[in-house]
């Protein structure tokens, strides 16, 4: 199957937007919108933790994903595990031993790239809550089409259905390393490396967006 030359100069992402501090009860909250996919995130912490769950030298991170319809199922549990791995890598957990950091994500609308939208909303909410982080992270999803093997970034739900493989990566902001990867479908090692390279390129746009939106938020306060 011939693999087309990839145009790596500018990965195409759907229009994205975000808002911080929109909920009054949680310590930090944010929404992240990617095209038609939208996630609302709330963070509580550092707060009290049950003795059975406490860890003596670092904080306990709990992630809950609520789907739009119905109760959380195994699919949400798998996504929670992915988001939790990315958060535990980025947060400085040793600064809050025997405390809990709870992150709750609510799916408002699902039109593809849901896991990367969750990761982006989670990072913005953690920043909003002022939790100590060693770096920021973002999520990028790539889909490999069935016919030509073309790599699409930030696929819609329809593009995801018509793809033969779906790969999501969490990328960190300092060294552009991969913090977490979640893949379904079959693909070659070369395609995997191409997807990682494209995701790292796309993450630069998202990190610039984080910087601009935090700058705008602080622009009112002097």
Closest CA to 19 of 121, 89, 164: 121
Segment interacting with other proteins (CB under 8 A) among 9-17, 108-116, 159-167, 213-221: 213-221
φ, ψ for residue 146 (rounded to 5)? -75, -45
Query: Closest separation between CB of residue 31 and other proteins, Å?
Result: 17
22 binding other proteins? (CB under 8 A): no
Binding other proteins (rule: CB under 8 A), the pick from 11, 42, 46, 155 is 46
Binding other proteins (rule: CB under 8 A), the pick from 14, 84, 98, 201 is 98
C-alpha–C-alpha distance, residues 201 and 10, integer Å: 7
C-alpha–C-alpha distance, residues 140 and 176, integer Å: 12
C-alpha–C-alpha distance, residues 25 and 42, integer Å: 9
Q: What binding mask, one character per residue, do residues 47-86 give for other proteins by CB under 8 A, x or -?
A: xxx-------------------------------------
Contact 41, 86 (CB under 8 A): no
Which stretches of the chain bind other proteins, using CB under 8 A? Answer: 21, 27-28, 45-49, 90, 92, 95-100, 127, 129-130, 132-136, 172-174, 210-211, 214-215, 218, 220-221
């Amino acid at each position: 199957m011939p693999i087309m030359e990839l145009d790596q100069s500018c990965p195409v992402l759907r229009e994205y937007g975000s808002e911080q501090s929109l909920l009054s009860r949680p310590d930090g909250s944010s929404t992240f919108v990617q095209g038609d996919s939208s996630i609302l995130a709330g963070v509580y912490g550092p707060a009290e933790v049950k003795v059975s769950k406490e860890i003596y030298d670092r904080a306990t991170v709990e992630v809950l994903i609520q789907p739009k319809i119905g109760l959380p199922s195994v699919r949400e549990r798998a996504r929670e595990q992915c988001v939790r791995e990315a958060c535990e890598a980025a947060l400085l957990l040793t600064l809050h031993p025997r405390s809990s950091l709870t992150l709750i994500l609510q799916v408002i609308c699902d039109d593809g790239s849901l896991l990367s939208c969750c990761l982006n909303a989670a990072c913005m909410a953690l920043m909003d809550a002022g939790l100590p982080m060693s770096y920021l992270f973002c999520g990028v999803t790539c889909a490999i089409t069935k016919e030509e093997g073309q790599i699409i970034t930030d696929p819609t739900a329809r593009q995801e259905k018509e793809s033969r493989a779906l790969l999501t990566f969490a990328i960190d902001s300092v060294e552009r390393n991969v913090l977490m990867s979640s893949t379904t479908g079959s693909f070659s090692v070369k395609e995997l490396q191409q997807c990682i390279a494209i995701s790292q390129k796309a993450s630069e746009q998202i990190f610039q967006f984080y910087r601009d939106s935090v700058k705008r938020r602080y622009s009112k306060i002097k």
